[in-house]
Chain A
Amino acid sequence: AQTVTQSQPEMSVQEAETVTLSCTYDTSESDYYLFWYKQPPSRQMILVIRQEAYKQQNATENRFSVNFQKAAKSFSLKISDSQLGDAAMYFCAYRSQPGSAGTASKLTFGTGTRLQVTL
């Protein structure tokens, strides 16, 4: 079974600064998806960024980028120019490729990192 580990329960960053959230995972599969989701106080999960394992290029979405190290099974999220609205819980998630035997397409989540953004 796949596992996802987020070793930072809480992080803090000053507004306009950059912060990196860590995520490692364990899998025996060679092709899969990785995601970062954001859960603000409203509690609705919002997709921040997605990475396909077969792609070597790191995904970027505006101020959000990832550092995907497949061999190390590491998938960190970098938030640049942090804004107050970035304050939330951030969850790293893993998903097998659809069709993998016995896995369906469910997401496995890490335990989350609570990000605080200070003035």
Chain B
Amino acid sequence: GAVVSQHPSRVICKSGTSVKIECRSLDFQATTMFWYRQFPKKSLMLMATSNEGSKATYEQGVEKDKFLINHASLTLSTLTVTSAHPEDSSFYICSARQAGRVTGELFFGEGSRLTVL
């Protein structure tokens, strides 16, 4: 099956610093990638949709200047949390849609746990 890899799996940073999370599709091309945020024992909340070669589409209430998304190639999307604060601590999950696949499912990365001190 299609594999999506996220890195890092865990990151701890100081308040005010920026953190970059990578999402890679390892064995397929992903024209679209999605970034989700998950709070403890909660569901996944879509943050933004990332399309290769174009600007990301952010969900209502998500600050695009704080959560920078770049999808520079068909296999890589990055999420940068800028000037992180403790309230940004969360579990971030990416998923990818395989180009040309008609069955509709998304493939998920392992997630990245961000802790801001």
Residues in A whose Cβ lies below 8 Å from that of B110: 42-44
Q: Are A91 and B104 closer than 8 Å at their CB atoms?
A: no
Interface size classification for chain A: 20 to 34
Number of B residues with CB within 8 Å of any CB on chain A: 22
Contact with B along A36-52 (1 / 0, CB 8 A): 01000011111100101
Q: Which residue of A lies closest to B31 (CB)?
A: A105
**Which residues of A lie under 8 Å from residue B91 when comparing CB positions?**
43
* A-B pairs with beta carbons under 8 A, tally: 56
Enumerate chain A interface residues (CB-CB to B < 8 A).
Answer: 33, 35, 37, 42-47, 50, 52, 91, 95, 97-98, 104-112, 114
Stretch with Cβ within 8 A of A (4 or more), from B11-19, B42-50, B66-74, B78-86? B42-50
Q: How many angstroms from the CA of A35 to the CA of B104 in the assembled complex?
A: 9
Looking at the assembled complex, report how far the CB atom of A24 sits from the nearest CB atom of chain B, in whole angstroms. 15
Complex CA–CA separation, A114 to B105 (angstroms)? 22
**List of B residues within 8 angstroms of A104 by Cβ:** 32, 49, 57
- Which residues on the A side are within 8 Å of B103 (C-beta)? 33, 50
Contacts of A106 in B (CB 8 A): 34, 46, 49
- Interface pair B32/A35, CB less than 8 Å apart: no
CB of B93 within 8 Å of the partner chain: yes
Given contacts A104-B32, A104-B57, A105-B97, contact A33 B44 (CB under 8 A): no
User: Chain A residue with minimal CB distance to B108?
Assistant: A45
Chain B interface residues toward A at CB < 8 A? 32, 34, 41-44, 46, 49, 57, 91, 93, 95, 97, 103-111
Q: Nearest 9 pairs between A and B by C-beta?
A: A45-B108, A33-B104, A43-B111, A44-B110, A111-B43, A109-B43, A109-B44, A47-B105, A104-B49
CA distance A105 to B108 in the complex (A): 14
Contact yes or no, B104 A52, CB < 8 A: yes
Q: By the criterion CB–CB under 8 Å, are B105 and A105 in contact?
A: no
Q: Are A91 and B105 in contact (CB under 8 A)?
A: no
| Nearest CB of B to A89, in Å | 8
Question: Which residues does chain B contribute within 8 Å of A111, judged by CB atoms?
Answer: 42-43
**How many angstroms between the C-alpha atoms of A107 and B110 in the bound complex?**
17
